[in-house]
């Protein structure tokens, strides 16, 4: 049987919850499973509140808008990320300011970021401004790549020093920890994804979590078309980014087995690490001691200068029934 990269595991618990949705006729964006899923994910991430969305990208878009990102602004983004991180910035009319990652965790490098902000920006009445372009640096968007937490403490210190909000792309990091604390805590907002290939799935969906209700209130308001009451009055340009009760029902069932899924991911990672351990120069993706990765996907890094081996390596794995592909093309090499 072929070994896939990631597929959903659903069963009787999901069926039970979906039958309840159908029996009660709560199949759209209103229903008890939505609020339950929001509360359970917020609790798991150590946050006061969560706002469920139709996708992780939608959640990132809302989060960036509600921390004040506007058209023409700059948002710090690591170049090693799925394109959704940069797309969410572009949806705000802003521009990704791309940075490299460190070797320790393959996430946004706080040392490089701190040096760049010190050298290339200046504080003004309008906020932190890029000296050359004159654009405002409106947010920092670290990515917990492949479920591996970014080094948040120094990133938060940089963000606080320059008074720039930090929004974490935690798409694949539900259940991961940083210095023993659940991913979600610390940044102004964090955003999870529940796409079909994530550790837990709702078929498609996301969630914005955080502690600052003054920011989360606008997130929820814009998520639900910025409607102000029972009548059709809308006070802002909003979005229909809501998660359905059907999706949340699946999510609630999936959460019952989150620890099981995380343990399986860790075991899979160890098997791949052992399988490739005798190949000279080949390294597994890093897992620093200060974190516990969700190990959403397992991967290896080829030695410097050996990229030409990649096609034959992938072909060899797939010939043995093991699905494999190269990781994300860095954002700075993408056409847009």
Burial profile 79-90: b = 16 or more Cβ within 10 angstroms, e = fewer: bbbbebbbebbe
336: pLDDT strictly greater than 90? no
| Average model confidence (pLDDT) across the chain | 96
pLDDT given at position 1: 66
Q: How far apart are the first and last CA of the chain?
A: 39
pLDDT > 70 fraction of the chain, expressed in percent and rounded: 99
Residue with token string 């087995």: 257
3-state secondary structure of 224: strand
Ramachandran quadrant class, 249 (left: phi over 0; alpha: psi -120 to 50; beta: rest):
alpha
Q: What is the mean pLDDT of residues 281-290?
A: 92
3-state secondary structure of 234: strand
Q: What is the mean pLDDT of residues 202-208?
A: 98
Burial profile 284-304: b = 16 or more Cβ within 10 angstroms, e = fewer: bbebbeebbbbbbbbbbbbee
Bridge partner residues of 178 (DSSP): 181, 291
| 8-state DSSP, 22 | H
> Per-residue DSSP letters for 171-193?
TT-TT-EETTEEBTBSSSEEEEE
Integer CA distances (angstroms), 329 to 91, 267, 326, 333, in order? 20, 27, 8, 7
Contact 281, 303 (CB under 8 A): yes
pLDDT, one tens digit per residue, over 110-142 is 999 999 999 999 999 999 999 999 999 999 999
Pick the CATH number of 12-255 from 1.10.3210.10, 3.40.640.10, 3.40.50.720, 3.30.565.10: 3.40.640.10
230: pLDDT strictly greater than 90? no
pLDDT given at position 335: 83
Integer CA distances (angstroms), 289 to 151, 249, 258, in order? 11, 35, 22
3-state secondary structure of 101: strand
pLDDT given at position 2: 84
206: pLDDT strictly greater than 90? yes
244: pLDDT strictly greater than 80? yes
Integer CA distances (angstroms), 230 to 44, 225, 233, 313, in order? 32, 12, 8, 58
Contact 139, 159 (CB under 8 A): no
Least confident of 65-79, 125-139, 168-182, 317-331: 317-331
pLDDT given at position 81: 98
pLDDT given at position 298: 93
Characterize the bridge pairing of strands 177-178 and 167-169.
unpaired
Residue with token string 């409607």: 227
List strands edge to edge, sheet with 49-53: 49-53, 206-210, 189-193, 167-169
pLDDT given at position 307: 86
pLDDT given at position 57: 99
The continuous run of DSSP H or E covering 96 comes out as strand 95-99
Residue 162, burial from CB neighbour count under 10 angstroms (0-12, 13-18, 19+): middle
pLDDT given at position 195: 98
96: pLDDT strictly greater than 80? yes
pTM of the model: 0.96
Contact 3, 268 (CB under 8 A): no
Quickly state the pLDDT bin for 98 (edges 50, 70, 90).
very high
Please indicate whether residue 231 or residue 257 has the higher confidence score (pLDDT): 257
pLDDT, one tens digit per residue, over 162-173 is 999 999 999 999
Q: What is the mean pLDDT of residues 42-47?
A: 98
CA distance linking residue 168 with residue 182, whole number of Å: 13
Q: Strands, E, within 270-328: which ranges?
A: 283-284, 291-292, 300-301
């Amino acid at each position: 049987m072929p070994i896939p990269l990631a597929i959903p595991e659903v069963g009787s618990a999901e069926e039970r919850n979906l039958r309840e949705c159908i029996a009660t006729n709560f199949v759209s964006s209103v229903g008890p499973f939505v609020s339950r899923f929001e509360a359970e994910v917020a609790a798991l991430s150590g946050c006061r509140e969560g706002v469920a969305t139709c996708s992780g990208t939608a959640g990132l878009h809302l989060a960036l808008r509600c921390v004040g990102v506007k058209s023409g602004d700059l948002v710090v983004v690591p170049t090693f990320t799925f394109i959704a991180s940069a797309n969410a910035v572009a949806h705000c009319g802003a521009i990704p300011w791309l940075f490299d990652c460190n070797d320790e965790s393959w996430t946004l490098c706080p040392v490089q970021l701190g040096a760049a902000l010190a050298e290339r920006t200046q504080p003004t009445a309008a906020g932190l401004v890029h000296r050359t372009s004159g654009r405002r640096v409106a947010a920092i968007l670290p990515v917990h790549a492949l479920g591996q937490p970014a080094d948040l403490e120094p990133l938060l210190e940089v963000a606080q020093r320059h008074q720039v909000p930090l929004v974490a792309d935690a798409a694949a990091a539900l259940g991961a920890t940083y210095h023993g604390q659940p991913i979600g805590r610390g940044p102004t907002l964090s955003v999870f994804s529940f796409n079909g290939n994530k550790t837990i799935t709702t078929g498609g969906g996301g969630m914005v979590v955080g502690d600052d209700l003054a920011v989360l209130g606008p997130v929820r308001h814009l998520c639900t078309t910025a409607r102000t009451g029972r009548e059709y009055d809308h006070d802002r340009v909003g979005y229909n980014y809501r998660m359905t009760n059907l999706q949340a029902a699946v999510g609630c069932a999936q959460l019952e087995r989150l620890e099981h899924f995380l343990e399986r991911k860790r075991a899979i990672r160890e098997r791949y690490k052992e399988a490739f351990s005798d190949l000279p120069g080949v390294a597994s993706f890093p897992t620093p001691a200060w974190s516990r990765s969700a190990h959403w996907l397992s991967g290896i890094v080829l030695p410097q200068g050996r990229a030409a081996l990649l096609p034959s390596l992938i072909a060899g794995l797939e010939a043995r029934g093991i699905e494999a592909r190269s990781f994300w093309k860095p954002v700075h090499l993408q056409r847009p």
